Amino acid sequence: MAVLSKPVSEPKPGSSPIPVIDISDPESKHALVKACEDFGFFKVINHGVPSELVSVLEYEAVEFFSLPKSEKTQVAGYPFGYGNSKIGRNGDVGWVEYLLMNATLDSASNSLIPSLLKNPQTFRNALEEYTISVRKMTCEVLEMITDGLGIKPRNTLSKLVSDQNTDSIFRLNHYPPCPLINKKTNGGKNVIGFGEHTDPQIISVLRSNNTCGLQINLTDGCWISVPADHSSFFFNVGDSLQVLTNGRFKSVKHRVLANSRKSRVSMIYFAGPSLTQRIAPLTCLLDNEEESLYQEFTWSEYKNSAYNSRLSDNRLQHFERK
Residue from 35, 56, 57, 87 in contact with ligand GA4 (CB under 6 A): 87
- Considering only residues 257 to 296 of the shown chain, the ones binding ligand GA4 according to CB under 6 A are 270
Sheet holding 8-9, edge to edge: 8-9, 223-225, 214-217, 254-257, 192-197
Tell me the torsion sign for CA atoms 237, 241, 247, 249: negative
Report d(CA 123, CA 128) in Å as an integer: 9
Report d(CA 293, CA 245) in Å as an integer: 10
Asked if 92 interacts with ligand GA4 (CB under 6 A), we say: yes
Q: Where are the alpha helices (DSSP H) in 150-277?
A: 158-162, 239-244
CA end-to-end distance (rounded Å), the chain: 36
Residue 264 falls in the annotated catalytic set = yes
* Binding track over 209-248 against ligand GA4, x by CB under 6 A: ----------------------------------------
| Stretch of residues binding ligand GA4 (CB under 6 A), selected from 85-93, 103-111, 206-214, 279-287 | 85-93
Q: How far is the CB of 199 from ligand GA4 (least distance, A)?
A: 4
Residue from 85, 90, 231, 314 in contact with ligand GA4 (CB under 6 A): 90
Spot the catalytic one: 135, 171, 207, 264: 264
Q: How far is the CB of 315 from ligand GA4 (least distance, A)?
A: 7
Q: How far is CA 164 from CA 79, 104, 107, 157, 304, in A?
A: 21, 8, 11, 14, 21
| Stretch of residues binding ligand GA4 (CB under 6 A), selected from 44-52, 62-70, 124-132, 197-205 | 197-205
Q: How far is the CB of 112 from ligand GA4 (least distance, A)?
A: 13
Report d(CA 21, CA 141) in Å as an integer: 10
Report, as residue numbers or ranges, the catalytic residues.
Answer: 264
